[in-house]
């Protein structure tokens, strides 16, 4: 589309920054041609996914603008803000998105400084949260301040396994048992086959679950700095082909839901998936009263009666107040798979009153599925926000573990602040001031 626009580039100096202004003046002829393409696409019923090929467009970004214009006219809506975002779809299509029309804007706040004593280093970092829930960032910051004044949050990854569990069909229970024995006997060969598909992943275990003539094999992998879902799926596909060939068992589905991915499942709580991480902090009585305006006894009682007993009465798979708030907001900000918030936010909050009125506070997240490379972490804004966690200062191969520990520290801060707000009867008031500020002004 060389004849589309004339570009005027003006450079200036302001202080130490160079400011580049780009003015794009579109030829009226092209605008007419663009309108004709929009009209033709609607008239001919050209599907959104075929616009690029139908009009022989060279650029995915040009196609995205055309696709948005078609939607605007067809649906009678305005997508001007969506279209204005700077996204290079020639890079993103085929990797992160299909049928793009633009993007969405979410406000991002930061929690910190968080003082995190992790497995690899102790550092002050910030945790970005993309959210539209008023009071969330402020509340997490209050918790971060309390933990900072208490010496920081200690966090440890205690397990690191991404899983995929295909289901095989056999002809009898005897064959099911033989398949389990075969998998155990030939595990080293299965590991070799899996390793042939990836430089960074390693098959670490295979556990079989038998239900009649159904055998679910839950393969678990270490995946380096990647969250690893695609990595283990490709490796397991190759392994499953070999199992079919050697045993005669029939692969029914590459994922048999015992993995379990993007669904609430207690197997992830019991056996872990992704990063299993624990974070803890002991808060002195003075910090509890000065920053959180409550006591160890009050927070502990709320945790026992609400998180532990209330969750059990309600049939919850986890025992916490709002892990999902911090997990979801951090996932969106840093390019993680948002659908995996389902299992990543399953976890437990544990409290204990210590001598002198101090409070021991810990959070356990058995299946926090995060990565420092791949997926949405390649987007410019998400990568910039990732850098706030200090993840790129950690040795390669250990970065996803550090990221998990930072997120766990953020989850602890958010959970602590919420329980303290309930203990001091401040929850409704804070949401009224921060969460409904726009409504009040209106």
- Structural contact between residues 256 and 216, judged by C-beta atoms closer than 8 angstroms: yes
pLDDT-based confidence at residue 7 (cuts at 50, 70, 90) = very low
**Positions of CATH 3.30.70.420 in the chain:** 166-253
Gap between the Cα atoms of 23 and 353, Å rounded:
63
Backbone angles phi, psi at 216, to 5 degrees: -95, 120
pLDDT of the residue at 404: 98
The pTM of the full predicted model, rounded to 2 decimals, is 0.84
Give, in order, the Cα–Cα distances in Å from 63 to each of 39, 78, 205, 215: 15, 17, 45, 46
Q: CATH topology for 166-253?
A: Alpha-Beta Plaits (3.30.70)
Mean of per-residue pLDDT scores for the chain:
89
pLDDT of the residue at 83: 79
Among 96, 403, 148, CA closest to 275:
403
Which residues, 6 or more positions from 307, have their beta carbon under 8 angstroms from its beta carbon?
A: 319, 320, 321, 348, 349, 419
pLDDT of the residue at 95: 83
pLDDT of the residue at 236: 98
Residue tagged 């450079």 (tokens): 11
The string of pLDDT tens digits covering residues 309-352 is 999 999 999 999 999 999 999 999 999 999 999 999 999 999 99
**Positions of CATH 3.90.770.10 in the chain:** 108-160+265-441
229-247 vs 187-195: helix axis angle to the nearest 10? 130
Among 64, 53, 139, 80, CA closest to 431:
139
Question: Does position 22 have pLDDT exceeding 70, yes or no?
Answer: no
- CA 380 from chain centre, in angstroms, equals 16
CATH code for the structural domain at 108-160+265-441: 3.90.770.10
Gap between the Cα atoms of 294 and 194, Å rounded:
53
Among 271, 321, 264, 283, CA closest to 158:
271
- Residues annotated as catalytic (active site), given as ranges: 133, 262, 337, 431
Instruction: Count the neighbouring beta carbons within 10 Å of the beta carbon of residue 433.
Output: 14
Residue tagged 């090929």 (tokens): 53
């Amino acid at each position: 589309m060389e004849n589309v626009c004339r570009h005027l580039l003006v450079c200036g100096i302001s202080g130490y920054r160079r400011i580049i202004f780009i003015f794009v003046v579109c030829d009226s002829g092209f605008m007419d041609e663009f309108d004709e393409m929009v009209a033709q696409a609607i008239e001919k019923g050209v599907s959104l996914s075929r616009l690029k090929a139908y009009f022989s467009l060279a650029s995915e970004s040009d196609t995205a603008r055309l696709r948005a214009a078609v939607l605007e006219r067809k649906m009678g809506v305005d997508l001007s803000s969506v279209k204005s975002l700077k996204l290079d779809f020639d890079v993103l299509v085929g990797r992160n998105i299909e049928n793009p029309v633009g993007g969405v804007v979410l406000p991002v706040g930061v929690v910190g400084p968080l003082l995190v004593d992790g497995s690899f280093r102790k550092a002050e970092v910030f945790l970005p949260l993309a959210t539209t829930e008023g009071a969330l960032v402020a509340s997490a910051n209050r918790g971060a301040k309390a933990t900072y004044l208490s010496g920081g949050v200690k966090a440890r990854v205690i397990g690191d396994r991404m899983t995929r569990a295909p289901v095989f069909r056999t002809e009898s229970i005897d064959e099911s048992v033989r398949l389990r024995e075969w998998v155990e006997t030939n595990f080293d060969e299965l590991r070799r086959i899996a390793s042939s598909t990836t430089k960074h992943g390693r098959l670490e275990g295979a556990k079989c679950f038998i239900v009649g003539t159904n055998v679910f094999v839950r393969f678990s992998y270490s995946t380096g700095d990647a969250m690893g879902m695609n990595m283990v799926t490709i490796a397991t596909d190759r392994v499953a082909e070999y199992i079919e060939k050697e045993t005669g068992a029939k692969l029914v589905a590459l994922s048999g839901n015992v993995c379990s991915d993007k669904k609430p499942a207690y197997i992830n709580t019991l056996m872990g998936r992704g990063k299993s991480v624990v974070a803890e902090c002991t808060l002195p009585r003075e910090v509890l009263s000065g920053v959180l305006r409550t006591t160890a006894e009050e927070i502990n009682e709320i945790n026992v009666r609400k998180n532990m007993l209330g969750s059990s009465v309600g049939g919850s798979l986890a025992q916490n107040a709002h892990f999902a708030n911090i997990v979801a907001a951090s996932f969106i900000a840093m390019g993680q798979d948002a659908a995996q918030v389902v299992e990543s936010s399953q976890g437990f909050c544990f409290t204990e009153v210590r001598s002198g009125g101090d409070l021991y506070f810990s959070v356990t997240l058995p299946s926090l599925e995060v990565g420092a490379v791949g997926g949405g972490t390649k987007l410019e804004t998400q990568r910039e926000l990732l850098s706030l966690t200090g993840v790129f200062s950690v040795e390669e191969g250990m970065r996803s573990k550090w990221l998990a520990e930072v997120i766990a520290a953020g989850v602890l801060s958010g959970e602590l602040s919420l329980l303290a707000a309930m203990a001091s009867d401040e929850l409704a008031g804070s949401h009224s001031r921060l969460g409904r500020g726009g409504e009040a002004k209106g």
